[in-house]
Amino acid sequence: MSTTSPTSTTDWTPQPGGAPWLSQVRAQASMEARLMLRNGEQLLLAVVIPVIVLVGAVMGADRVDLELTGRAIDVFTPGVLALAVMSTAFTSLAIATGFERRYGVIKRLGTSPLPRSGLLAGKVGALVAVEALQAAVISAVALAMGWDPAGGVGAVLGTLLAVLLGTAAFAALGLFLAGSLRAEATLAAANLVYLLLMAGGAVVLPASAYGSFGDVVQWLPSGALGGAMRDALIDGVVAPVALLTLAGWAVVGTVLTARTFKWE
């Protein structure tokens, strides 16, 4: 009678170490997305405020007599979609991360195998998921109001690149802000910057509406994102200068975050 040899003990030798980088990022992104969707204040900032801005801007354009290059709904919708990206990727992320540092959440993540690059990538992944929800809601409202976006490969590619690069740029800048200031200071600074960029950063309105100042604001991340979205959804083309500007801001923000971000 043959006997089965016992399993070698080496088959059960533990292999300590962190999970692969992509697995860590996927888990972090999933957790971040769930936390954002459960936060009523962040949903208000991410969805309700952009919708109110869209409806108010379209209804008020006729009374204010703005000089627009097309129908108000077609001009304002790309800008509001850009505003939604900015509100989620910058303001919501900065405030949430600031208070996570205050309550020790980031410190505990710092003791895990998750590197800073993984933390940033995980947060960006969660932001993209939330932004998909924002885009669906805002687009539905805009279409109900008569929005007629441009079609074609240029429109789709330009929109996707603008959203991805805009998310990367604003997320990096938001993490830089949250990683270098106290939670209360981050809350105040993030909201102040959001309001300033919404009013004067060429997000909702095109840079041409600001006169000579438009030559300056178009190089801000807000102006570049708004311009890229309008070029894609109004003219159906990719805006290389605006996209390169966003890529530059993403690189600058990432470098600053990597060098200055504090886990507590």
DSSP-derived 3-state class of residue 230:
helix
Percent of the chain with pLDDT over 70: 86
Residue 250 has pLDDT above 90, yes or no: yes
Model pLDDT, residue 79: 92
Model pLDDT, residue 78: 93
Any idea which of 70-79, 92-101, 109-118, 232-241 has the lowest mean pLDDT?
109-118
Q: For 91-114, what is each residue's pLDDT tens digit?
A: 888 888 888 777 777 777 766 777
Given a contact cutoff of 8 angstroms between Cβ atoms, the answer to whether 225 and 85 are in contact is yes
Average pLDDT of the chain, as a whole number: 83
The confidence band for 264, taking pLDDT boundaries of 50, 70 and 90, is low
Q: For 208-235, what is each residue's pLDDT tens digit?
A: 888 888 888 889 999 999 999 999 999 9
Q: Could you please report the per-residue DSSP string of 198-226?
A: HHHSSSSS-GGGGGGGHHHHTTSHHHHHH
Residue 139 has pLDDT above 80, yes or no: yes
In whole angstroms, what is the distance from residue 102 CA to residue 179 CA?
10
Query: How many CB atoms lie under 10 A from the CB of residue 102?
Result: 16
Residue 87 has pLDDT above 70, yes or no: yes
Query: How many CB atoms lie under 10 A from the CB of residue 170?
Result: 29
Model pLDDT, residue 10: 53
Any idea which of 23-37, 110-124, 179-193, 198-212 has the lowest mean pLDDT?
110-124
Any idea which of 120-124, 132-136, 189-193 has the lowest mean pLDDT?
120-124
Given a contact cutoff of 8 angstroms between Cβ atoms, the answer to whether 78 and 227 are in contact is no
Give the torsion sign (CA, 144, 147, 152, 153).
negative
Query: CB burial class (10 A; 0-12, 13-18, 19+) of residue 107?
Result: middle
